Structure 1
């Protein structure tokens, strides 16, 4: 059975925020972002361009509403995915267009709220426990998305 366009593109729909999200982010406080150390509780995988990272999440078939920490940097057009500490560098050091951040790295992260017009959570960690994306599975999904070429716009 063919996969529907809606199902296949659940993440790539975030390539640009909708008008309601833009309106909400426009009035975010200055404290909507925080500087966070990588490699302690989590590593970060920074994927460029944003659309490529979203296509990888679609290929991974990752649920959006289960507390996986993923945010979009709309200013730099990058997707940032948090993975278990100590797993990013081994999986992504040789993947073009991907920057793994681990111990010693720092990242501007949206605060617990939504974020800003420039960077916003598209899947927020929950207070019931963070469900980090598996770095090895993310790598395979990214390579799969790359093999299939540019993702279709939804």
Structure 2
């Protein structure tokens, strides 16, 4: 039987391709020498937490580029996606099944390139020019994903 065809080099990588961690992430987890740290939410950004599969599908719906510098984390232990949005706007993303981390709450984030199963950057923030996902657009994308019938 012939081997399955390789993806075309120009085939775009989708967010939903990160539903399971890739081998590179798994390798960094075992080699991690620094634990993730807790960072206060609500100052520069809020965070929207959604079920992993649903959140990834929402980012695909937005056509958000993987390499766009938008801070997006996966928690592969809890199967959650964490998307940073501008501070004070997280409440605008009230899609069912999601929750918001805002002022007075904390988020576990990787330190530098040291990730863990509970905190893995899927898209690293650019400290020089942070870009956040618009909470209203994320809300609409999650609702659109919910409206698609599941097989």
State the TM-score, normalizing by the size of structure 1.
0.85
Query: 1:60 aligns to what?
Result: 62
Q: Using a 3 Å threshold, how does the CA distance of structure 1 residues 62 and 30 change in structure 2: closer, same or farther?
A: same
Deviating 4+ runs (over 3 angstroms): none
- Segments of 5+ residues of structure 2 without an aligned counterpart are 1-10
Q: Give the distance between the partners of 2:59 and 2:103, measured in 1 at CA.
A: 24
Larger radius of gyration: 2
**Partner-residue secondary structure (3-state), 1:30:** coil
Which structure dedicates a bigger proportion of its chain to helix? Answer: 1
Query: 1:110 aligns to what?
Result: 110
Q: Give the distance between the partners of 2:141 and 2:115, measured in 1 at CA.
A: 26
Aligned residue-pair number: 142
Which shifted more, 111-120 or 68-77?
A: 111-120
- Segments of 5+ residues of structure 1 without an aligned counterpart are 1-5
Q: Give the distance between the partners of 1:16 and 1:100, measured in 2 at CA.
A: 23
Taking only aligned residues, the RMSD between alpha carbons, in angstroms, comes to 1.9
Query: 2:76 aligns to what?
Result: 74
